[in-house]
Amino acid sequence: MHGPWPVKVLTVKTSQSDFVKIRGIDYHCRRWGPAGAPRLFLLHGSQDVSASWQFTVDALASDWQVIAPDWRGNGLSGWSGVDSYWFPDYLGDLDALLDHYAPEEPVRLVGHSMGASIAALYSGVCPQRVARFINVDGFGPPTQRQDPAPRRVAKWLSQLHDDTAQRPYESFEEFALRMQSENPRLTDARARFLVEHWGRQEADGTVVRRADPAHKRVNPLPFAPAEILEIWRQTSASVLWVDGAQSGLWARLMARPPEFDERMGAYQDLRIEHIEDAGHNVHHDQPEQLARVIEDFLQRG
């Protein structure tokens, strides 16, 4: 820990760190639980880290071998070394990680936000590899919010000339206060825990986020909405969609009935759960409720 903050220190389940060479990058993976227990893969969102799942793991009632990677360019994983991150690379990385940890069995995937988008695509592209998929507030924004190709590519070209350095904070405490200003539901103890994993202290004493600044550039070549739906329709796994009731995602989708129906209808077996008093970061706001709905879903049938 960095500095004596006047907040309660959390008691958490102990994790171990693996470093695995994945497609030329040293991947950091965090593991909790006994090696012989059923495997559960937790996938974090954009500019996040695997440790964000700690509170959910702490609340799991059954024994699981939980495996959570830091995506390339995040946390303790290596950076790509290029000026943009391409979404298909995450699919390649996930496929290699599953081959490493669970080569002979269909897996249970839980993804938040960007991690959910990755898992959703993977579940459709490789349906035989996924037994259950839980999407945590990650059905994405309405397709109308996607910039037209000329504007998107021009924006990317412009950003290649911009300074994308991560914002420095004076201390871990200032970083935690910033997180809490963006999410008032985040307790002092949880904010302290998170910034110790999200942040890195520089030589001058300032703290910056452990994420390659290149993540801040737009993706000039995203999957087209029609392609995403086509991929989702190939999913054979049972799917649970969990949203934070105060995240606003459900309301935005419901405001566009045809698009909502298309997304809901893409899956053969879909259940939906709303978690109250939770925003987009459900795993920070209500990890106990999230753990309960995850285990209820995984253990049914």
pLDDT at 155 over 60: yes
The whole-angstrom separation of Cα 186 and Cα 286 is 10
The whole-angstrom separation of Cα 106 and Cα 35 is 17
Please give the pLDDT value at position 254. Answer: 80
Encoded tokens for 60: 């799991």
Length of the chain: 301
Please give the pLDDT value at position 3. Answer: 52
User: In this predicted structure, which of 2-11, 58-67, 189-198, 230-239 has the lowest mean pLDDT?
Assistant: 2-11
pLDDT (mean) for 199-212: 96
Question: Structural domains in the chain?
Answer: 15-141+223-299 (3.40.50.1820)
Please give the pLDDT value at position 245. Answer: 92
Q: How confident is the model at residue 144 (pLDDT cuts 50, 70, 90)?
A: low
pLDDT at 1 over 80: no
- At 14-34, the pLDDT tens digits run 999 999 999 999 999 999 999
Backbone angles phi, psi at 21, to 5 degrees: -75, 115
* Average pLDDT along the chain: 93
pLDDT at 179 over 70: yes
pLDDT (mean) for 249-272: 87
